[in-house]
């Protein structure tokens, strides 16, 4: 098992497309490192799991304005 994943590997692991991983990195939603300056991105499985969990919790929690209604 690889310790560091490429964007393609991370997308496959998370079950999303590569663009989703790139967008999450760009928005700083998912922890990542850049190797060789800005040339390539590497991620760890636990960072992907944390990102996925934050997204799942956000989908379950009601929004403030919905809770007031």
Burial class from Cβ neighbours inside 10 Å (0-12, 13-18, 19+) for residue 14 reads buried
Q: Which tens digit of pLDDT belongs to each residue from 1-16? A: 789 999 999 999 999 9
* pLDDT per position as a tens digit, 15-46: 999 999 999 999 999 999 999 877 799 999 99
Q: Tell me, what's the pLDDT at 33?
A: 96
Here the tokens at position 53 are: 């969990």
Its pTM surpasses 0.85? no
Residue 66 clears pLDDT 80, i.e. is over it: no
Q: Tell me the domain boundaries of the chain.
A: 7-63
């Amino acid at each position: 098992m690889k310790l560091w994943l490429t964007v393609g590997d991370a997308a496959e692991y998370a079950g999303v497309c590569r663009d989703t991983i790139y967008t999450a990195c760009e928005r700083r939603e998912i922890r990542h490192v850049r190797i060789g300056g800005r040339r390539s991105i590497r991620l760890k499985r636990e960072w992907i799991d944390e990102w996925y969990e934050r997204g799942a919790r956000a989908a379950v929690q009601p929004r403030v304005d919905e809770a007031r209604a």
